[in-house]
Amino acid sequence: MPKLYIETVGCQMNMLDSELVVASLRQDGYELTATAADADTILFNTCSVRQHAEDKIYSALGRLKNAKRGNPDKVIGVLGCMAQKDQGLIFKRAPYVDFVVGPGQLHQVPALVREARINRGQRMEVSLGRTDGSRHEIERSHESFDPLRDPAMRPTPYQAYVRIMIGCDKFCTYCIVPSVRGPEQSRPPAAILAEARQLAGEGCLEITLLGQTVNSYKYREGDRTWRLSDLLEALHEIEGLRRIKFVTNYPKDMTDDLLAAVRDLPKCSKYLHVPVQSGSNAVLKRMKRGYTIEDYREMLARTYDSIPGVAVTSDFIVGFCGETEADFEQSVELVCGSRFKNSFIFKYSERPGTKGAELYADDVPDDTKRRRNNELLEVQNEICEADNQAFLGREVTVLVEGRSKASEKHGEDGDRMQLTRRTNCDRIVVFEGNRRQIGQFLPIVIYDANAHTLFGEIVTQHVGPEVFSLTLPVKIGLR
């Protein structure tokens, strides 16, 4: 059996793409291997959102130079966003790469691997750029890659990502996604529902719907327009599915019908990821986010009012072009006043090809970016810890995903082990349990908490004397 090694960086969309690419290569007889040295075919599914993610891939490619020289039959492919962005530059920097495939052309990967094993020529399959044709032509060149699902390819059989849209039309000035993933295109509801039914039939209990701006989902069908709330209602009917999540939301598209669906549909996780990026209107304007901080606060207030117990998380970019101390303080203020369950904080990384790189100087020194990153994280962590403390003594329900990181690290392999999973509002819980409980929904009572994790115990049924006093006369009566 030929062996495949794949390395994936980036977001959930990339993880899903890798899962599907691996599944399609398994049909050609490939089996996965954990090391590049063992592999006949090596694939990198890349990300372009930050410079660091690209540097990582180029240095991994650099390390393969000698391996390829020693074994010219090894096939090396670069997929994903960096492939779409850098195109021929990848061949220049790593001439031994066999093919470069953008995220809109992933269906070609099996054929390209087959071809690379026979001919030694290089191939590049990428989509059109945003100004390289009519909207229709550009859309057609960015195909959503959603072949039939292979349950063996998911890290856990109980959860799966389901793509509901690709691309983005928002054009935030710092972001490369609209160029590399193309125009916003929603998948037909029938295809999404069929995929979700198949997953549920295979025992999947939780699905996470994916889109760059997932709440902008819109699909016209005759005279009906499907919104995300309509899709959630239809997915909610699928027997076997127990939990539905969706990421990532765009603040301006957080409509009341969607909030009502999350509130009213019991299977919808009470968790929303709604990135704000900055607390300063001046920075938001330069980022071209399309809302003011007042709009964001209004959306947040509406969300908290509409959905009792909802957890909201956010993203921040610190050190964006021209960000002053006063701008940064407004981000700190926003974090203090917003009770985010968590915030993902990133230092601004200039991306060639974006409007941000063209229009503004990346003028915040790196040590200032680092300091702001740490300060904001510290404030957010204090809030996380205080909020998590409020869970002490409370009972939560989790879908048990598998072993905790600590259990994996310590190589626990008996039946008893530390297990982990998230609550309905996406908080991580760890607890002692049994391997057989993986894949079950369990009640857990929380006895400790830090900023990132709740620690709990499985609630067991207590059979006390009152039960005996009730059952005894019945049994006697039966005699």
Q: Nearest approach, Cβ of 172 to ligand SF4 (angstroms)?
A: 3
Q: Choose between 208 and 453: whose C-beta lies nearer to ligand SF4.
A: 208
Instruction: Looking at residues 204 to 223 of the shown chain, list those that interact with ligand SF4 (rule: CB under 6 A).
Output: 212-213
Q: Choose between 30 and 174: whose C-beta lies nearer to ligand SF4.
A: 174
175 binds ligand SF4 (CB under 6 A): yes
293: amino acid identity, one letter: I
42 binds ligand SF4 (CB under 6 A): no
Q: Please, what is the end-to-end C-alpha distance for the chain in angstroms?
A: 66
Q: Give the one residue of 82, 172, 310, 377 binding ligand SF4; rule: CB under 6 A.
A: 172
Q: Nearest approach, Cβ of 335 to ligand SF4 (angstroms)?
A: 19
User: What Rg do the C-alpha atoms of the chain give, in angstroms?
Assistant: 24
115: amino acid identity, one letter: E
Please, what is the Cα angle at 313 between 311 and 315, to 5 degrees? Answer: 175
Q: Choose between 168 and 444: whose C-beta lies nearer to ligand SF4.
A: 168
Instruction: Looking at residues 222 to 281 of the shown chain, list those that interact with ligand SF4 (rule: CB under 6 A).
Output: 250
Q: Nearest approach, Cβ of 11 to ligand SF4 (angstroms)?
A: 9
Q: Choose between 229 and 249: whose C-beta lies nearer to ligand SF4.
A: 249
Draw the binding track, 130-169, toward ligand SF4 (x: CB under 6 A; -: no contact).
--------------------------------------x-
Q: Are 46 and 57 in contact (CB under 8 A)?
A: yes
Q: Name, in order, each residue with C-beta under 8 angstroms of 21's C-beta and a sequence gap of 6 or more.
A: 6, 43, 45, 79, 106, 109, 145
Cα torsion 429, 432, 433, 439 to 10°: value is 20
178 binds ligand SF4 (CB under 6 A): yes
Q: Nearest approach, Cβ of 306 to ligand SF4 (angstroms)?
A: 23
Buried b (16+ CB within 10 A) or exposed e, 82-112: bbbbbbeebbeebebbbbbbbbbbbbbbbeb
Q: Give the one residue of 58, 171, 344, 346 binding ligand SF4; rule: CB under 6 A.
A: 171
Stretch that binds ligand SF4, among 170-178, 298-306, 359-367, 458-466 (CB under 6 A): 170-178
430, exposed or middle or buried, with CB in 10 Å at 0-12, 13-18, 19+?
Answer: buried
Q: Choose between 22 and 321: whose C-beta lies nearer to ligand SF4.
A: 321
Q: Are 454 and 422 in contact (CB under 8 A)?
A: no
Q: Nearest approach, Cβ of 62 to ligand SF4 (angstroms)?
A: 29
- By rule CB under 6 A, what count of residues binds ligand SF4? 10
Q: How far apart are CA 203 and CA 19, in angstroms?
A: 17
Q: How far apart are CA 333 and CA 379, in angstroms?
A: 10
Q: Nearest approach, Cβ of 410 to ligand SF4 (angstroms)?
A: 38
398 binds ligand SF4 (CB under 6 A): no
13 binds ligand SF4 (CB under 6 A): no
Buried b (16+ CB within 10 A) or exposed e, 133-166: eeeeebbebbbbbbeebeeebbebebbbbbbbbb
Helix axis angle, 12-26 to 109-118, nearest 10° = 50
Q: Give the one residue of 26, 170, 263, 355 binding ligand SF4; rule: CB under 6 A.
A: 170
Q: Nearest approach, Cβ of 355 to ligand SF4 (angstroms)?
A: 10
Q: Give the one residue of 25, 113, 177, 204 binding ligand SF4; rule: CB under 6 A.
A: 177
Q: How far apart are CA 190 and CA 228, in angstroms?
A: 13
Beta bridge partner(s), residue 398? 442
Stretch that binds ligand SF4, among 174-182, 194-202, 292-300, 425-433 (CB under 6 A): 174-182
Q: How far apart are CA 101 and CA 26, in angstroms?
A: 19
Q: Nearest approach, Cβ of 212 to ligand SF4 (angstroms)?
A: 4
- Given the rule CB under 6 A, which residues bind ligand SF4? 168, 170-172, 175, 177-178, 212-213, 250
